[in-house]
Amino acid sequence: MSLLQWERNEYIVTATIDRPPANALSSDLIREISCLLDELEQDDSVRVIVLKGEGRFFSAGADIKEFTSIPSGKEFSKLAKYGQDVFNRIETFPKPIVAAIHGAALGGGLELAMACHIRFVSDNAKLGLPELQLGLIPGFSGTQRLPKLVGEAKALEMLFSSEPISGSDAVKLGLANQAFPEEELFEETMKLAKKVAQKSPITVKAVLSLMSYTRNSQQSEGSDREAGYFGTVFESEDAKEGIQAFLEKRKPEFKGK
């Protein structure tokens, strides 16, 4: 069964993450996103992609249960690097990708959203990177993209507190473009998508290409370091405790080991 459903409306493709109950980002789901990008990049009739979640959430984070099956920090780093590569492809995709975020975009879900070109949110959505609460760190370039969007000080506050912010606050901080009541979110997102679809695909592609020049090599280098730390942290006792506590729905007891 596909974890990513999609449909076309003229020049616009709506891709829906459909992995109940929380739309957790498993490696299989990330792989399906990559395959969809392969298909849509070659289709000249597609001009805009809208990404949203089915059910209660956009995506409530990475698949923590999958983490328990990963045998080593080295393999954990490989998972991070694969996710980074797919998300980097979203960020540099030659067609606009607009995220419509409702419910929650947490952890890997927010990292996915940050890779999109534009983010519309419901005003009551929750956005955050709670990985430190589990004895882990973000692994899909979250430590690199978040400071560029909200500033280093606020990024550190969000990471260290592990507390999410609202959709309305995300707009104020620059993490999201606009916020709407949840029942209006998709309609408003489609309004923007239709405006973009009316533009010349040549000019849209040129703007996206030019935007990529504003990024320097530091993000690439920082993401590589993040993937390395992702694996190192995974092998700690605190990470094992954090993951187990999450699965057992209890507060973790970290010992700094």
What residues contact 91, with CB distance under 8 A and at least 6 apart? 115, 116, 117, 212
Name the CA dihedral angle for 199, 205, 210, 211, rounded to a multiple of 10 degrees: 80
Of 111, 152, 237, 248, the active-site residue reads 111
Query: Which DSSP category does 125 fall into?
Result: -
* Largest pairwise CA distance in the chain: 57
Any catalytic annotation for residue 54?
Answer: no
From 32, 91, 131, 226, active-site residue? 131
Contact 26, 3 (CB under 8 A): yes
How far apart are alpha carbons 13 and 2 in whole angstroms? Answer: 16
Exposed e or buried b for every residue in 188-210, given b needs 16+ CB within 10 A? bbbebbeebbeeebeebeeebee
Q: Is the sign of the CA dihedral 179, 183, 185, 189 positive or negative?
A: negative
Terminal-to-terminal C-alpha distance of the chain = 40
Is 226 part of the annotated catalytic residue set?
A: no
Structure tokens at 204: 């849209």
* Residue 91 phi, psi dihedral angles, 5° rounding: -60, -35
Enzyme catalytic residues:
111, 131
